[in-house]
Amino acid sequence: MDEIRYLPPPPDAPPFTLPELDLSDVRRKYLDIPYAETDNPAQTLDILLPGEGDGPFPTLIQFHGGAFLGGDKRDFQCIYLAKGIQRGYAVVNVNYRLTGEAVFPLPVYDAKAAIRFLRANAETYRLDPARFAVSGDSAGAYFAALLGTSAGVGALEDLSMGSAEYDSSVQAVIGMFGVYDLVMQSVFTDDAPPMPGGMKMVNYADTFAGVVCREHPGIASMASPEPYITKNCPPMLIQGGTADEVVPYNASVELVRKVNAVCGEDRAILESIEGATHGHPDYESERYTESRFAFLDRVFGMKRD
């Protein structure tokens, strides 16, 4: 059995260092693969394959959270779905440029380039290019949702990054405690009470968009998933905690409502986790873990004994 755990930071680690996934027992893996025609270490991904089978495997592509300004593809937060390799899925964890280096739309270019690279190299890595799901938590859910709504939007791709002849469409979306509306997020952050210790939370929606979103709603809207919704949106599962203190729960409600208004009922499913705060342990519980994989199995026709 391919075991995936996470390890606590070493005692001498810098403050706020997150636990890291321990992939030492994953037998079939490709780590730190560049997906863009650059030498930027931020533009890399890891591919984990099930321990058995020749594929091609349905593929779950994950984007980490971290307020667009931190995080890494091997953060412990990716364990939410990394265990998909035990269920017959290939799992890909993607890094992208953070706001200390790049703002919108450049990180979105990265996300799209990663999908194109994986589709271009699907045979090499035993991936099924017709069954790509994207997932993310917090800021990572933003990329998952935007990839789901914006297939074919040329303004959100930089084809010079590579694999230009391949498309960046995805066939399923999972978002957990996500950022889906940058104006709503900006206002929510500005109005939030100070964190423990009296510090105000960084308005990372503004930092990511490169503008004060509440003062430039048009620009912020262009950077959000909602304007790109069409009838071709893939199925979505959105999980949100009603007591989230970092992202507005109502953003999850509104994304699901707007997708279903265009695509018909049940194209997007909202699972509300009553009383859950940001990244609450309930997200890792058996109930919500099983719900995510049941959704993927249904969309991709995976049969279980």
Q: How many domains does the chain have?
A: 1
Question: Residues 63, 239, 7, CA angle at the centre, nearest 5°?
Answer: 50
Q: What is the pLDDT of residue 305?
A: 63
- Tens digits of per-residue pLDDT, 54-110? 989 999 999 999 999 999 999 888 888 888 999 999 999 999 999 999 999 999 999
Q: Global pTM? A: 0.95
Domain limits at 249?
5-180+232-300
- The string of pLDDT tens digits covering residues 170-205 is 999 999 999 999 999 999 999 887 766 667 888 999
Pairwise CA distance, residues 123 & 204, whole Å: 38
Q: Provide DSSP, 143-168.
A: HHHHHHH-TT-GGG--GGGS-TTS--
Q: What is the pLDDT of residue 16?
A: 65
The CATH number of whichever domain residue 85 belongs to comes to 3.40.50.1820
Structural domain includes residue 221: no
Whether 219 is in a domain gets the answer no
Q: How far apart are CA 213 and CA 233, in angstroms?
A: 25
Tell me if 68 is assigned to some domain: yes
In a domain, 37, yes or no: yes
